[in-house]
């Protein structure tokens, strides 16, 4: 019981630190540019966070399960191009969206096949996919953006409810639904189990390969939806879009307390991480930090996230060791 209480305190402390960091970022950039805290900028910040957020949801499941995915940026770009091409050929938007989601799911199946069947490390497997599907995105449109003229498609990128764009609502609803699934369902408990100890999970009757397959399919579907919405916002499918999207998502997830070693984390932490990294990125742009230095700053934030993850994992192992010693 004491150990459980201690873990809850540590988790709560992590979230409080994240909330404090978000407040500090807002105060810092507002002091440098008063428009940073305006309602218009906050909405724009949420719009920019919506695509990163959808990908971060998928990464939350994968990283907790002990996996990873470096292909979301390329897949989102490919799906945006596919959706734009399909509607340009006369296919209704609803049907083109279904086909695009199937494309995303199939890429997820391919990633899972490389990990489950030919036993490639997830990092290497998805790096392969990243390169291949980015190439296909360019091949399908001859390297040129595909203009969108379909009214329904464009409406998806512009419609707002309560002054907040549809893409933000989709991200918030997805965070809530997938957060509930992760925390409250047998499937979610299985994700934690295979990330904590795959062999023990297998002996307990779980099927790790099936769970990993479902996680990669989920990531593919989220990338397809996100890429389609992004194309609607940009009025075109762009093969060069969403470069390094996966790194922002991974940074957000790790900042949110999901451990790279697997088995630890939750969706609320991921949501806070999404807000923090997007506020950070938007702030850098608004105070006119040169783009080259923005790369340095983002890399530093990723390093900070990984270092924090290392410290959290060391503290968890220390707590478990102390608890086991007390029970002897």
Compute the average pLDDT of residues 46-50.
Answer: 92
**Would the pTM count as exceeding 0.85?**
yes
Mean pLDDT, range 249-259, rounded to an integer: 90
- Walk me through the domains of the chain, giving residue ranges and CATH numbers: 2-322 (1.10.3470)
The count of residues in the chain is: 328
pLDDT tens digits along 93-114: 999 999 999 999 999 999 999 9
Once rounded to an integer, what is the mean pLDDT over residues 48-52?
93
- Pick the closest to residue 213 from 307, 296, 107 (CA basis): 107
pLDDT in tens, 277-300: 999 999 999 998 888 888 898 888
pLDDT, one tens digit per residue, over 120-151 is 999 999 999 999 999 999 999 998 999 998 89
Choice between 314 and 100, residue whose per-residue pLDDT is larger: 100
Q: What is the dihedral of CA 197, 202, 204, 205, to 10 degrees?
A: 150
Look at the alpha carbons of 160, 279, 104, 209 in this order and tell me if their dihedral is positive or negative: negative
Give 220-235 pLDDT, tens digit per residue: 999 999 999 999 999 9
Specify which residues 151 forms β-bridges with: none
Contact 67, 194 (CB under 8 A): no
pLDDT the model gives residue 199: 87
Q: Cα(229)–Cα(290) distance, rounded to whole angstroms? A: 28
75-81: average pLDDT: 96
- What pLDDT sits at residue 13? 65
pLDDT of residue 110: 97
């Amino acid at each position: 019981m004491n150990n459980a209480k201690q873990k809850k305190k540590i988790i709560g402390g992590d979230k409080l630190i994240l909330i404090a960091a978000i407040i500090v970022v807002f105060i810092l950039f507002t002091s440098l540019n008063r428009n940073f805290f305006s309602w218009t900028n906050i909405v724009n910040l949420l719009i920019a966070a919506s695509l990163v957020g959808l990908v971060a949801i998928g990464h939350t499941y994968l990283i907790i399960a002990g996996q990873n995915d470096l292909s979301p940026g390329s897949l989102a770009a490919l799906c945006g191009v596919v959706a734009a091409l399909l509607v340009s050929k006369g296919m209704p938007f609803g049907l083109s969206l279904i086909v695009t989601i199937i494309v995303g799911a199939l890429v997820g199946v391919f990633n899972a096949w490389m990990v489950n069947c030919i036993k490639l490390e997830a990092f290497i497997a998805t790096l392969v996919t990243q390169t291949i599907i980015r190439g296909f995105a360019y091949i399908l449109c001859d390297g040129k953006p595909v203009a969108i003229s379909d009214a329904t498609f464009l409406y998806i990128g512009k419609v707002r409810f309560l002054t907040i764009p549809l893409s933000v609502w989709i991200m918030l609803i997805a965070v809530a639904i997938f957060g509930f699934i992760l925390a409250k369902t047998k499937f979610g408990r299985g994700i934690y189990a295979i990330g904590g100890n795959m062999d023990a999970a297998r002996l307990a009757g779980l099927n790790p390969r099936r769970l990993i397959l479902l996680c990669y399919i989920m990531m593919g579907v989220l990338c397809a939806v996100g890429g389609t919405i992004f194309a609607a916002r940009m009025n075109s499918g762009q093969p060069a879009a969403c470069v390094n999207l996966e790194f922002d998502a991974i940074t957000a997830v790790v900042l949110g307390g999901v451990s790279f070693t697997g088995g630890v984390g939750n969706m609320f932490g991921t949501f806070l991480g999404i807000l923090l990294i997007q506020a950070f990125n938007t702030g850098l742009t608004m105070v006119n930090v040169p783009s080259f230095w923005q790369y340095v700053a983002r890399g530093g934030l990723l390093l900070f996230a990984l270092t924090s993850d290392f410290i959290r994992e060391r503290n968890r192992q220390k707590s478990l060791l102390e608890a086991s010693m007390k029970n002897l």
